Structure 1
Amino acid sequence: MKFPKLTVAALSLLSDFLSARTWTDVKGRTLEAEMVSKSESSVTVLVRGQKTEIALEMLSESDQKFVKNWERGDVAGYEALFEQKWPKLVSIDLDIEITEEEGEDGSYIYRSPHYEFISNTELSKVPVKRFSVLFEATREYVRQLPYANKKAHQESVRYQVFLFDTMESYVRAGGPEGSAGVYLGGKDVIMVLCQSLGLVKRGSTWAMDYDRTNKTLPHEITHQLTDREYFVEGARGWFSEGFAEYVAVTPYRSGKFSVSKAPSYIEEYVTSFSRVDNRGRNLGEEILAPRLEKFMTMSYSDFASAENGNFNYGLGALLVTYFNHYDGEGDAANIKNFLRAIKQGKTGTEALEVLRAGRSWEQLEEDVTTGWRKRGVKIDFM
């Protein structure tokens, strides 16, 4: 069985992945756009991948107030996070505390240290604790990676996850039909079917199916923990999805991610099917790929298309793994500089120029090809 494609969810949630808001001008006209930067007299927003400068005096009073209070993340304040050593093993204490209460709307609310699960069906503490460990461990994994994801370091909030007992109730609430779970960036919540948590219905109760593995959940959890800046043009697609794939494919068991094994597992997952669960992208060990500049700057709708989504997710995972472990001195320096540049407001080809680190696109393609050829994967950029 192949790993299920995520393109249905991805296409329907394109706008949700952007940190966009609705802007209103003094004439009452509206615009959906993502804020990039500001000056004393104007604001720069991203509209369909293009930067546009708007005079503050043209905006509504509430929008002007928003701009005044807006602050880009302080890169210097998180510089130490970029300097963290790449983890080999990430683990958490399995004995986490779970609290529960009934919501006013009849829902059932379960809380772990950093998550709030709102369910439309009653669950017992045993399975809740089991899947909560996966969520908490994924959070700790993303925290320890030297990507400086500020969201993963929040201590004063609980990330929200909505659970549904049937596909009908899931779709009715806004989940894409046919998907196992999804992250809604606009609302910053995860929606997921109980079955996707490894739960099975036995009579009137839910129990854990201990034989099931799950790559969809860590993928969506990673999206929820990823800073919004990392979804901008130039990173959206190859990096945002490749990063989520990197985390999701890393071998996991009982609160532990074996990070040192991630590269070999990703190679197997992308080129064939996993020996553990028979899921994978199955692109083969000889891959014909589009030119890197085109691939890294394509629109998200093209990246996640039904026709090419499976291939693009796989290639994205290979690229992220390359930059994490095989590029340059193998210290992830270039991809960390790329993320620094994004936090400083660079997007698109300007940010990717930092990633290339003085190399032409052709030279970068040669480096990627060489890096993976040493590991038995042949990538030809055509």
Structure 2
Amino acid sequence: MKVYQILYPIALFLSPIVTANQSSVKLELKSGSKFECELREVKDSSLTVKTSQGKSYKIDVNSLSPASKHVVLGWARRQGGSLKYASWIKSPDSAFNKSWPKMVYGPANPAVKIRRDLTKAGKYVFETDNYQFISDAKLDSKVVQRFSVLFETTHRYNMALPLNVTAQYVQKGHKYEIYLFESMQLYVRAGGHPQAAGAYIPSRGICLIPLHSLGVNKLGNKWVYDKTKDNSTISHELTHQLTSGVQFAAWFIEGSAEYVAATPYHHAVFQVSKSKSKIIEYVTGGKPVGRMLGRRFGMPKLSRFMTMPYGQFAGQNANLNYGAALLLTYYFYHEDGNGDAARIKSYIKTLQRGGSEQEALKALLNGRSFEELEKSFAKYYAQSGVTIDFK
């Protein structure tokens, strides 16, 4: 689930922590105003920057002082672009060339550091290699270590995919921020969805997760970890966090996150090569978790489904749309064309290099009509006993 707007005030314990940004620059406007920011994108002389508070702004490059404009131009050239288009996400062809992983192993016992310099009453901070956990409950570091296995393994899985995920371009030492809540009430107050096990907030680049969703519950005066808890929703939200920064279509935003979440996982291991049957079971079935679409279901025609605005996609028919998006994403990853994911890579690459969604879809279709794609997509799943009707 991707949350676009915080509906409640952020809980007070969130606000003081700001991760240091080693790639920030100082810019000056012609008016003399100075500010520090991270350069994110420049397109047709419109510069997008991100402040240390996580807020994004657009600035006309021509409103910058000559020295600052030179800084932006230098940055754009280092990214392989110009003032016409450049992004902090580079997109070299080599980034898509590695083999698709069959198994991904994470750290069984990740190192956990207690940040006592940031910890105070009502706010406890822990760090692993790639994550910073900010909790309103006082947790034992052993408990943090046990649930952080999922986080670090999900990070490795996304980084192992030959899809040039944006997590590869964060500055060295960057920690993804995860806010943990003792109660569902505080989680919802901070912006989490009351019916979701976690939420990614794009405007802040953070994930919000109630502790019980991780299998962490209070037993007497101690917090304990239940390793049998299903954490697939957490991997879904973490994938949003690790791949943010490019405006993909709704079906791919959610389909790619569902792909990671539905991959068989058992303590520090994602079994990617065994994912097809599990993914079909997840979409069609309902135990212990699933989309419950059944072995025959209807979905919108692909010309509509693949161009659906996010608000509509995640609206009334979200369960159907998420399940169908997962099947479509799996098809593009493993079956389409020569089974080498070349067309979906072209789709990703087009958007990363500043192309429009229309241009990216053209690359993905590769000369086919939507109707031709529907036939091959439906035929592929019919071989596994799943009938898809296009409405």
TM over 0.5: yes
Q: Describe the shift of the 1:176–1:289 C-alpha distance in structure 2 as closer, same or farther (beyond 3 A).
A: closer
Residue 373 of structure 1 deviates from its aligned partner by 1.3
Of the three residues 43, 46, 67, the one matched with 2:46 is 43
Q: Which residue of 2 aligns with 1:223?
A: 240
Distance 2:326 2:154 in 1: 17
**Helix, strand or coil at the partner of 1:261:** helix
Query: For residue 364 of structure 1, what is the amino acid of its counterpart?
Result: L
Query: Structure 1, residues 190-220: CA drift from partner, whole Å, max 9, x if none?
Result: 1111111111110111101122111110000
2:174 matched to 1:174?
A: no
Residue 61 of structure 1 deviates from its aligned partner by 7.0
Query: Structure 1, residues 300-333: CA drift from partner, whole Å, max 9, x if none?
Result: 000000x201000000001001101111111111
Residue 91 of structure 1 deviates from its aligned partner by 0.4
RMSD: 2.7
Q: How does 1:83-122 map to 2 (within 5 A)?
A: 83-102=97-116, 103=118, 105-106=120-121, 107-122=123-138
Query: Structure 1, residues 100-135: CA drift from partner, whole Å, max 9, x if none?
Result: 133354311111111110111111122211111100
Distance 1:272 1:104 in 2: 43
**Helix, strand or coil at the partner of 2:115:** strand
Q: Which residue of 1 aligns with 2:300?
A: 290
Residue 55 of structure 1 deviates from its aligned partner by 6.9
Residue 345 of structure 1 deviates from its aligned partner by 1.2
Residue 81 of structure 1 deviates from its aligned partner by 2.6
2:217 matched to 1:207?
A: no
Distance 2:389 2:6 in 1: 31
Residue 291 of structure 1 deviates from its aligned partner by 1.2
Of the three residues 235, 244, 249, the one matched with 2:257 is 244
Distance 1:44 1:353 in 2: 27
Distance 2:108 2:167 in 1: 23
Of the three residues 150, 159, 163, the one matched with 1:143 is 159
**Helix, strand or coil at the partner of 2:364:** helix
Q: Which has the higher contact order (CA 8 A, sep 6+)?
A: 1
Q: Which residue of 2 aligns with 1:259?
A: 272
* Counterpart contact for 2:102–2:273, Cα < 8 Å: yes
2:351 matched to 1:346?
A: no
Q: Describe the shift of the 1:95–1:373 C-alpha distance in structure 2 as closer, same or farther (beyond 3 A).
A: same
2:143 matched to 1:127?
A: yes
Q: How does 1:325-364 map to 2 (within 5 A)?
A: 325-364=334-373
* Counterpart contact for 2:47–2:61, Cα < 8 Å: no
Query: Structure 1, residues 269-327: CA drift from partner, whole Å, max 9, x if none?
Result: 101124xxx2100111112111111111111000000x201000000001001101111
Query: Structure 1, residues 66-87: CA drift from partner, whole Å, max 9, x if none?
Result: 96556323222xx323111111
Gaps of 5+ in 1: 1-5, 15-23, 27-34, 46-52
Gaps of 5+ in 2: 8-28, 32-39, 49-57, 77-85
Query: Structure 1, residues 1-55: CA drift from partner, whole Å, max 9, x if none?
Result: xxxxx5xx646469xxxxxxxxx9x9xxxxxxxx87534xx4399xxxxxxx997
TM-score normalised over the length of structure 2? 0.79
Number of residue-to-residue matches in the alignment: 338
* Counterpart contact for 1:327–1:371, Cα < 8 Å: no
Query: For residue 136 of structure 2, what is the amino acid of its counterpart?
Result: N
* Counterpart contact for 1:289–1:381, Cα < 8 Å: yes
Query: For residue 257 of structure 1, what is the amino acid of its counterpart?
Result: F
Distance 2:289 2:90 in 1: 40
TM-score normalised over the length of structure 1? 0.81
Q: Which residue of 1 aligns with 2:324?
A: 315
Q: Which residue of 2 aligns with 1:20?
A: none
Query: For residue 286 of structure 1, what is the amino acid of its counterpart?
Result: R
Q: Describe the shift of the 1:95–1:347 C-alpha distance in structure 2 as closer, same or farther (beyond 3 A).
A: same
Q: Which moved more, 1:131-140 or 1:97-106?
A: 97-106
Distance 1:256 1:203 in 2: 32
Query: For residue 236 of structure 1, what is the amino acid of its counterpart?
Result: A
Residue 343 of structure 1 deviates from its aligned partner by 1.1
Q: Describe the shift of the 1:13–1:299 C-alpha distance in structure 2 as closer, same or farther (beyond 3 A).
A: farther
Q: Which residue of 2 aligns with 1:281?
A: 291
